[in-house]
Amino acid sequence: MKLDILEMSFPGEGDWALIVARGGDVLLGSVALRRSGPAGEFARLFVVPSHRRNGVGRELLAAAEAIARHAGCVALSCSVNPKNLHAKLFYSRIGFRPAFQFGDGDLLYSRPIAPLPVAQAGEMEVRCDRCDPSFTCWSHGDGCRHPEAREVA
């Protein structure tokens, strides 16, 4: 299996990159990745049915994680429909945990991929339950802009 990254540099905030898995000339699967604050957010993880349960999805997510970690992200996350039991089980098996439920009912699944940064002088600790309650962002106040973000004393 060969992985092709169709966007060689990690995209800017909100821009999507596409990672594609191929076996020879056959498309096996793909996943989209973007930066979302301190996290790498992936979406549209897809593996062709004839190649499921062969590690293709795990390889695609490993590539997404490596790109996100290299770009300085501290977590990898995705949105999951709560009725999608297969996705919830797959993500749970590889270390993702539900971190937040959006207003439309979708769940944010997340897992840490890097140690948290240490605060520097003049920075404040900001926690955002919408981004991911399992990690804390350090910022000068220009990081997460979600209304759920709050300064931690």
Q: pLDDT digit string (tens) for 93-111?
A: 999 999 888 888 899 999 9
The Cα–Cα gap between 2 and 57 comes to 13
- pLDDT beyond 60 at 76: yes
In CATH terms, the fold of domain 2-116 is: Aminopeptidase (3.40.630)
- Is pTM beyond 0.95 here? no
What amino acid is encoded at 90 in this protein?
A: F
Domain boundaries, given as residue ranges, for the chain:
2-116
What are the E-state strand segments in the chain?
A: 2-5, 16-23, 26-36, 39-47, 75-80, 97-101, 107-112, 124-127, 137-139, 150-151
